[in-house]
Amino acid sequence: MDLVTAIVPMRHSSERVPGKNYRPLGGLPLYQHVVTTLLATPGVGEVVIDTDSETILEEAARVFPSVTLVERPAHLRDGHTPMNAVLEHSIGHAHYEAILQTHSTNPFVRAETFEAAIRRFFDSEGIDSVFGATRIQGRLWTEDLTAVNHDPAVLARTQDLAPIYLENSCFYVFSKATLRDGGNRLGKSPAIVEVDALEATDIDVETEFRLAEIIEASQLFGVR
């Protein structure tokens, strides 16, 4: 069976939601949700946490003894450092050639969804990378009021509009060679794996953390 190394990069500090990566969600630090899911995904052969956080390094070593912990070097710790640069460092600690990168801020992505992305990468011809995206079927406009995906003179039903996909950062699957050769986790021939908007919930601001708490309390994604 083809396997991937799953990489979860996370910083200790967060400007908009202080301490969010290790802030409790449903009784567990936020990052533990996605790591637990990755460990339950059949196509994930190993999990790597890349972080500058002593809190996460110490705790994860105890809770997840099978996970590889990588302390991020000082020159990659600035919040403006491009993710591709961080990943170029992280893949040096990966056993497998294929990489799945995700975020601690996507706590509700299912193991089945990660597995679908991995299988799409390995089983589809002519693609060199996979990313998660959420379908949008609504009337979209640019800031200067140009209609993007519809004719304002024709009031078509939204369900009849051609869908547009929003890259949601839930996961990226790629090879080490794609990242090293192109400097990007997305290659020249990517493919989309669709993720439902609720499953793709991402935590960037305080209101989104509050929403995640409501979703977790509802147990929509099962007891974890």
Q: What per-residue confidence (pLDDT) applies to 15?
A: 78
Q: Is pLDDT larger for residue 160 or for residue 67?
A: 67
Q: What per-residue confidence (pLDDT) applies to 197?
A: 93
Within a domain: 181 = yes
Range of the domain at 176: 4-130+168-188+201-218
Within a domain: 195 = no
E strand or H helix that includes residue 174: strand 164-175
Within a domain: 140 = no
Q: What per-residue confidence (pLDDT) applies to 222?
A: 64
Within a domain: 224 = no
Percent of the chain surpassing pLDDT 70:
99
Within a domain: 184 = yes
Across the range 132-157, mean pLDDT stands at: 94
Across the range 33-62, mean pLDDT stands at: 97
Q: What is the DSSP string of 15-46?
A: SSSTTGGGSEETTEEHHHHHHHHHHT-TTEEE
The CATH number for 59's domain is: 3.90.550.10
Residue range 64-109, pLDDT digits in tens: 999 999 999 988 888 778 888 999 999 999 999 999 999 999 999 9
Within a domain: 70 = yes
Within a domain: 161 = no
Q: What per-residue confidence (pLDDT) applies to 54?
A: 95
How many domains is the chain built from? 1
Across the range 215-219, mean pLDDT stands at: 90
Within a domain: 81 = yes
Mean pLDDT of the residues in the chain = 94
Q: What per-residue confidence (pLDDT) applies to 76?
A: 85
